[in-house]
Amino acid sequence: MRFDLITLFPDMCAALAAQGVCGRAHQRGVWSLQTWNPRDYTRDVHRTVDDRPFGGGPGMVMMAEPLALAIEAIRADRLAAGADAAGLPAPVVLLSPAGQVHRQALARRWAAGRGAILVCGRYEGIDQRFIDTYVDQQVSLGDFVLSGGELAALVLVDSVVRLLPGVLHDAESAEQDSFNPALTGLLDSPHYTRPEIWRGQAVPETLLSGHHARIQAWRRRQSVRLTRDRRPDLIEQARAAGRLSRQDEACLDASQAENEE
Ligand code: 9WO
């Protein structure tokens, strides 16, 4: 899988390919990341990538032409590398608050694809004519504003790459929700490690019992209750999708009754 990032700040993007599970997988060739600087596709001596907005207003706008030339260069390079299925060019994706909000189900869909060309905007925005001409879809991470699209692009790539086969160890993937349908859509239960008592706080007894079935049931109960308390919307979704068992419902009823006492 190959991701091409169009960015004025390529240095910001190197970390993902260098560290952690994504870094390891990158080193093994599971995926690749290339950055393309629009500044390298300018033709004036000042290497201008931005200009003042027509109609006035604060700040600067990214010019269409350097971005378009970067896309053309990427398309040629991906073709030469055989990175795309024949006649199926990689989608061009803009990270912006106007996009579809990213979530785990979309990350899974991306993980089945060939990658993408990710456009990272800066300044006040990008000339709309570039967006109209080249951008296939916009992706948002949520309702907040960043100073540029780079961090959002890296979050997107991270969420996809960790789902690729062989990126996580068995031990990690066993815990992972896509391999553990029972947990899908619920929040994970709390984790503990040594020491058994830390600053007077003990580890929940069940986790020390060595009783696998009881531990599993305890974790599931914790997941269900935590999700109910913090993200009741996810409980509704899980229920609607038939992902809550009779035990899950009983656990919700029981803790509801405790709260009402
Ligand atoms: C396009 C656009 C369209 C409608 C409304 C806002 C929009 N912003 C952009 C855009 O290309 N913005 C660039 C990237 C330039 C300004 C900083 N940018 C940005 C991206 N800020 N915040 C994001 C972002 C991306 C994904 N999820 C949350 C925020």
pLDDT score of 173:
66
**Are 68 and 97 found together in one domain?**
yes
By alpha-carbon position, which residue is closest to atom 25 of ligand 1? 96
With 80 as the cut, is the pLDDT of residue 260 above it?
A: no
Atom of ligand 1 nearest to the CA of 143: 28
CB 95 within 8 A of CB 64: no
Quick one: 152 and 84 in the same domain?
Answer: yes
Residue with CA at minimum distance from ligand 1 atom 10: 125
Residues 115 and 229 grouped into a single domain: no
Phi-psi region of 125 (alpha: psi -120 to 50; beta: other; left: phi over 0): left
Is-catalytic flag, 65? Answer: no
115 and 186 within one domain: no
Does 150 lie in the same domain as 192?
A: no
pLDDT at 47: 98
The pLDDT > 90 percentage for the chain reads 89
Same domain, 37 and 104: yes
In a domain, 173, yes or no: no
- Asked whether residue 11 falls in the same domain as residue 61, the answer is yes
* 124 classed as catalytic: yes
Model confidence pLDDT, tens digit, residues 104-140: 999 999 999 999 999 999 999 999 999 999 999 999 9
* Predicted local confidence at residue 177, as pLDDT: 55
Nearest CA to ligand 1 atom 18: 148
Q: Which domain holds residue 59?
A: 2-161
Say which of 77, 124, 158, 188 is annotated catalytic.
124
pLDDT tens for 173-194 read: 655 554 454 567 999 999 999 9
**H or E segment at 106?**
helix 104-111
Ligand 1 centre to CA of 127 (Å) is: 12
Global model pTM greater than 0.75? yes
Domains in the chain, number = 2
Predicted confidence (pLDDT) per residue in 215-238, tens digit: 999 999 999 999 999 999 999 999
Top pLDDT among 121 and 260 is at 121
CA 101–ligand 1 middle distance (angstroms): 12
Cα(130) to centroid of ligand 1, in Å? 14
pLDDT per residue as tens digits for the range 37-96: 999 999 999 999 999 999 999 999 999 999 999 999 999 999 999 999 887 899 999 999
Shared domain for 147 and 188, answered yes or no, is: no
Q: Are residues 131 and 193 in the same domain?
A: no
- 141-156 average pLDDT score: 98
Q: What is the mean pLDDT of residues 15-39?
A: 97
Residues 6+ apart with CB under 8 A from 2: 31, 32, 33, 34, 78, 81, 83, 90, 114, 115
Q: Is 97 a catalytic residue?
A: yes
Task: Characterise 62 by phi-psi region: left (phi > 0), alpha (psi -120 to 50), beta (else).
Answer: beta
